[in-house]
Structure 1
């Protein structure tokens, strides 16, 4: 029987350093990782990928905010699992993200252990804000 491939994560952040370090850290934890620097690139990559188990989406992106990008992910695949990363969100922004289907929030700057726990929780079907 063929071994199931590790989960695929699409890491979306406009900061190149976060994309590079995030990829390295997530790959070190055993995940497969693709990165994107903005919402448009993320949506293109998402459409072209066979499988995305989780999107880690920075809320503040050039051109679109995380809620707008999340909405477009859900149009492409209503089952898309999205974890939003942000240093600060208003209660209104958080309510909008929940309404659009985000599965959780990780506060930036995040530690590797925090990211690891949030990803595992979302992949196991648990959400949280």
Structure 2
């Protein structure tokens, strides 16, 4: 007879493994706080911006960024525009887009480049953890 696996052992979300740094851009304070708190609990170093313009100095700066997590519908520079600027500064930077507009996500999903994914809000915290880890690992496997 098979022994049951202790609860919680297999369901632990993947954690940061090498001090990875994530830039989170989100204009909704509650969502921003939730995403940042989850990432920090998972061991990631997190840089935060409430809009695309505020994120530009970080993207253009010298500090390490392993992943960009951005809302699509930001005021001013939208998430897609920020991602384009980010990839000009940091080619191959993985990007995780967040959107509350499911219909737009299906259409915009066709426009995602390699190393980009999209999550529909509200999303599951474990799904967020899995996608963040996967995108960082895929980028680190690239030459």
Q: Which TM-score band applies after superposition, normalised by the shorter structure?
A: 0.7 to 0.9
Cα drift, residue 28 of structure 1? 0.6
Alignment coverage as a number of residue pairs: 121
Instruction: Render the CA deviation track for 1:36-62: whole Å, top value 9, x for unaligned.
Output: 011111122222251000010100000
**CA distance, structure 1, for counterparts of residue 84 and residue 126 of structure 2:** 28
Provide structure 2 residue ranges, at least 5 long, that are not aligned to the other structure. 1-16
The one of 89, 110, 128 equivalent to 1:95 is 110
**Cα-Cα RMSD:** 1.9
Larger deviation, residues 36-45 vs 84-93? 84-93
Cα drift, residue 102 of structure 1? 5.2
Larger Rg: 2
**CA distance, structure 1, for counterparts of residue 105 and residue 32 of structure 2:** 25
Cα drift, residue 92 of structure 1? 3.6
2:75 is aligned with 1:67:
no
TM-score (norm. length: structure 2): 0.75
Confirm or deny: 8 A CA contact 1:84 1:102 kept in the other structure: no
**CA distance, structure 1, for counterparts of residue 80 and residue 115 of structure 2:** 9
Confirm or deny: 8 A CA contact 2:105 2:118 kept in the other structure: no
Matches within 5 A, 1:23-38: 23-38=36-51
**CA distance, structure 2, for counterparts of residue 57 and residue 81 of structure 1:** 11
Runs (4+) off by over 6 Å: none
**CA distance, structure 1, for counterparts of residue 33 and residue 89 of structure 2:** 26
